[in-house]
Structure 1
């Protein structure tokens, strides 16, 4: 089973890498016409309205208040909130301990069915969503109260509704060997990779023009297949000294604050990656659609809050990463970079194809990050060794490796949401879909539905 899973993962990663990958659209009239003729057994086209359920609405409101109150004990927990201001005020004044909040969550869980098979209709998916999110909330509250997670795998299952594969470093030896061939030399591989990447660094005075062009293209390609609220917008800022490379802070009313960490070198490929991931068709698109389709049209208050350490994050991060290759399939990303971004950054596009080959190999090492994080969280290696292993097995620079350890210190097993999340979303979207249009339609439904990891196969 392990070998079969490893082969599946490597195949997914290889496919992603060869297609040019690493925080959202047909025109409105066209999309409605397509939906009218589309057979959608999942029942998730934004035109369907679920039945009113006062008890479920009551549980949903209590869930939102619990998330906000748990945020008193973990400042990273509430990633976004745009519900009633009074609920936020009430939560700030609530002095309940994490253990008490876990008990409240378990009380709400007792009001939901014991077993919920995640069928395709919205009402069942909603119940499954609330039950799964509440289960993760209770687990996180217990962990804050008494450090209850024993290891990486338990944390991932409890918070993100999935069991990531357990792999070994040896599985990545063939990829590292290919990198050695692409970048021969006597120095450690991560040094050679860093030296090679330096020629693709975006000058600081070119960051704004390059990122603006990248985001504009990501948006144009997304709007060719998906409809977004007419008022959607974002603000772009550059920050430093953060454990992440980019972040989308969703503000509500289809508006986002997107921050790019310029504290470490930013290479030319990251412009499209971050533009798609944080913006279109990534986090900004996802949050705007959830607000429009589920909060405004369905009246579901539970989607007015986004708890970071929850199953929703796997869908958010996985779809944001998959959205890069959906928007730029095949060689389109490299071609756009060569023709548009390289000149804007003052870089030579002549070696862009070799750079893409190196990036494709680096992308296949993403799952090795989970091994390092698992060993570090489980106490098998210390911080210095974690930095060293990130360099050795993922070819990160010392600075990037140190930042990655800081990320694990801050967010724990959250790292699985980027690579394993992308693999699960990719498998879901591309299952039984052969055309680009069909994949965009399925992707759009996913981004405006209550689906979580354990309901992707239903």
Structure 2
């Protein structure tokens, strides 16, 4: 059988003459099984909704064979929420109590997504709150103008600032024939730095693949068994700093590490099967994208990133290491523009600006070419309020982890807690 029963359960089953394999889950275990099957069924109505699944193959087959209607799925979500609320959790603050809160929050997000698939419309903020369990507080675009002025001082000249920044960054493109070597070196360093603080299973591994025709720049597809497929989109030229970005965000201590720890600590050790499935539009995504982004700064604090890039990545890419500090300064200054993406998405999705304006504003406030701005807007059209998970998630995870103290060991320990426990956005605000 897939799960080991406790010794007491096993003996009881044998005494009454039954088979342990026939024992049905109860309490939160029963809710968890229902949740997994519900998510798989919703995935039959929306391609891409199930981001990862490594549970019983027969459950996925059953969801495909018996396609329940949206009203039926919504009613099932209500039933499971009521069952979870009626369950008796552990002590306040215990992992068992947090498991209950996690299931209730994620079932609520499933129910809301079912309504969206059925055509329900909400404001950007309401949608974000319902799907990701946090209400974004967005700054007006004018709040980012002082940052643009600081970038202007770094890249002076004539013409639009976005064109000047793009021209400056074009000197740092990784040649395609060197991309594989640069990416693997970056991921290897991210892995080394992560494993110095977090213990991972011996057989954890990933496959690296380059793809085209996507609205995203990188993606991690978790396969279970401590393995991932990491894809890098090569539709547009890749700048040298994206190697560390993607290596940390998609790999270590980002999505791959997160999923490996959830599988190892919660699925295998505790039998919490709800973590065998990952619905993309869920509170877990704010944690995942937030830790993926903040994990870059955690793994490469201060000047360590620029130093590593200059020493290792620039030579591999055939770039001049002496120019690394200038690029690093521009990158660090532009970080303060990240929140503008959320504001533009809100304006566009709520119908306050049209598509062309969204592209123009993205060029201005993200300081990218038109092609990159179009890719960003396509992402917003595909994933909608999901964009809050990058900027807001990074801010929330970053604040929670740095609150552990100034020492790197304390911060990594807290990051491991975020990655290996049933963490909700509300847990980051404690």
What band does the TM-score fall into relative to the shorter chain? Answer: over 0.9
Is 1:197 the counterpart of 2:187? The answer is no
Per-residue deviation, residues 180-203 of structure 1 (Å, max 9, x unmatched): 111111210110010000000000
Equivalent residue in structure 1 for 2:259, among 272, 277, 287: 287
TM-score, scaled relative to structure 2: 0.92
Equivalent residue in structure 2 for 1:111, among 67, 83, 86: 83
Residue 140 (structure 1) shift: 0.4
Structure 2 Cα separation of the partners of residues 282 and 126 of structure 1 = 22
- The answer as to whether partners of 2:27 and 2:84 remain within 8 angstroms in 1 is no
Residue 448 (structure 1) shift: 0.5
Secondary structure (helix, strand or coil) at the match of 1:83 reads coil
Secondary structure (helix, strand or coil) at the match of 2:423 reads coil
- The answer as to whether partners of 1:82 and 1:252 remain within 8 angstroms in 2 is yes
Per-residue deviation, residues 424-447 of structure 1 (Å, max 9, x unmatched): 001111114221001111111111
Structure 2 Cα separation of the partners of residues 183 and 132 of structure 1 = 45
Matched pairs, number: 406
Secondary structure (helix, strand or coil) at the match of 1:162 reads coil
Is 1:347 the counterpart of 2:319? The answer is yes
Is 1:138 the counterpart of 2:103? The answer is no
Secondary structure (helix, strand or coil) at the match of 1:237 reads strand
Residue 114 (structure 1) shift: 7.4
Larger mean CA deviation between 113-122 and 356-365 belongs to: 113-122
RMSD after superposition: 1.6
- The answer as to whether partners of 2:404 and 2:410 remain within 8 angstroms in 1 is no
Is 1:102 the counterpart of 2:74? The answer is yes
Per-residue deviation, residues 380-426 of structure 1 (Å, max 9, x unmatched): 11111111110011112101100011101110111110110010001
The match for 1:182 is: 154
- The answer as to whether partners of 2:138 and 2:339 remain within 8 angstroms in 1 is no
Cα 1:176–1:232 change in 2 (3 A) is: same
The match for 1:154 is: 126
Cα 1:117–1:360 change in 2 (3 A) is: farther
Is 1:395 the counterpart of 2:355? The answer is no
Is 1:273 the counterpart of 2:245? The answer is yes
Equivalent residue in structure 1 for 2:97, among 124, 145, 154: 124
Unaligned runs of 5+ in 2: 1-23
The match for 1:318 is: 290
Residue 98 (structure 1) shift: 2.0
Is 1:436 the counterpart of 2:417? The answer is no
Residue 166 (structure 1) shift: 2.0
Per-residue deviation, residues 13-67 of structure 1 (Å, max 9, x unmatched): xxxxxxxxxxxxxxxxxxxxxxxxxxxxxxxxxxxxxxx9831100100000000
Structure 1 Cα separation of the partners of residues 63 and 296 of structure 2 = 37
Is 1:72 the counterpart of 2:52? The answer is no
Cα 1:196–1:119 change in 2 (3 A) is: farther
- The answer as to whether partners of 2:250 and 2:256 remain within 8 angstroms in 1 is yes
Residue 119 (structure 1) shift: 4.1
The match for 1:81 is: 53
Residue 366 (structure 1) shift: 0.6
- The answer as to whether partners of 1:175 and 1:365 remain within 8 angstroms in 2 is yes
| Structure with more contact order per residue of length (Cα contacts < 8 Å, sep ≥ 6) | 1
